[in-house]
Structures are given as structure tokens and as C-alpha cells.
């Protein structure tokens, strides 16, 4: 099912675009996130669903009620966190943030 992919916040989209012209590591992260976006456009459910009980309160405060949360594993233990919403006949993936594995474990309480 085709999906449209958006960023949860404008500053997140700007941070993603800045990665393109950053250091070597930033350019790699940009490439990985771009690949994730392509995969999400093809299938919004290609990630791993995070149990609802683990949805951080910070996300609910920042983005409103989230009915689901997904992670997409990027190389080098980075994680892309997103939610999936359906708007009539369009499925929308909304990228909330990306982070390294250590921050991911802290954020989700693992």
C-alpha cells in the first residue's frame, strides 16, 4: 500500500536536509534516512511496531494522541521513529525522530 511520508515537525525536516551537506557521518545518516523514507513510501508497516504501553509521554505531549508507534532500524544501531495514520484512502507515515540505539533505549524505557 503506497504511503505518503511527512515529518512530524518542520525543524525535523530542516535537520534532515542539513545532513545532506554535513560531515561524512551526517551524509551517511542522510542516505540511510532517505532509504527508510523510500521503504516507508512503499509500505508504511515495514518497521517494527512498538507496544502502545511503551509510547513515551513526551511524544503524546508533543504530537498529540498517538495510536501507534513504529521503529525502522537504520545501520549502525540508529533508529527512525514514526507513526502511521490513515486519512480516508491515504496512509501517511509521520517521522517523529531518529536517534542512536542508546538514546532509543532510554526514550522507550528498555
The domain tally of the chain equals 1
- Per-residue pLDDT tens digits for 60-70: 999 999 999 99
Res. 34: pLDDT tops 80: yes
Q: Is 89 helix (H, G, I), strand (E, B) or coil?
A: coil
Split at pLDDT 50, 70, 90, the class of 11 is very high
Question: Which three three-digit cell numbers place residue 12?
Answer: 525535523
Q: Which region among 29-38, 45-54, 75-84, 88-97 has the lowest average model confidence (pLDDT)? A: 88-97
Res. 92: pLDDT tops 90: no
- The CATH number of the domain holding residue 67 is 3.30.2310.20
* Pairs from 97-104 (Cβ < 8 Å, separation ≥ 24): 97/8, 97/12, 98/29, 98/33, 98/74, 100/76, 101/77, 104/71, 104/79
The whole domain housing 54 covers 3-108
Amino acid at each position: 500500500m503506497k504511503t505518503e511520508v511527512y515529518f512530524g515537525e518542520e525543524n525535523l525536516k530542516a535537520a534532515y536536509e542539513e545532513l545532506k551537506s554535513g560531515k561524512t557521518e551526517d551524509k551517511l545518516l542522510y542516505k540511510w534516512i532517505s532509504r527508510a523514507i523510500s521503504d516507508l513510501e512503499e509500505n508504511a508497516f515495514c518497521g517494527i511496531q512498538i507496544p502502545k504501553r511503551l509510547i513515551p509521554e513526551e511524544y503524546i505531549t508533543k504530537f498529540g494522541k498517538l495510536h501507534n508507534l513504529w521503529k525502522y532500524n537504520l545501520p549502525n544501531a540508529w533508529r527512525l521513529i514514526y507513526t502511521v495514520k490513515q486519512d480516508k484512502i491515504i496512509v501517511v507515515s509521520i517521522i517523529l525522530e531518529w536517534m542512536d540505539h542508546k538514546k532509543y533505549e532510554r526514550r522507550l524505557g528498555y
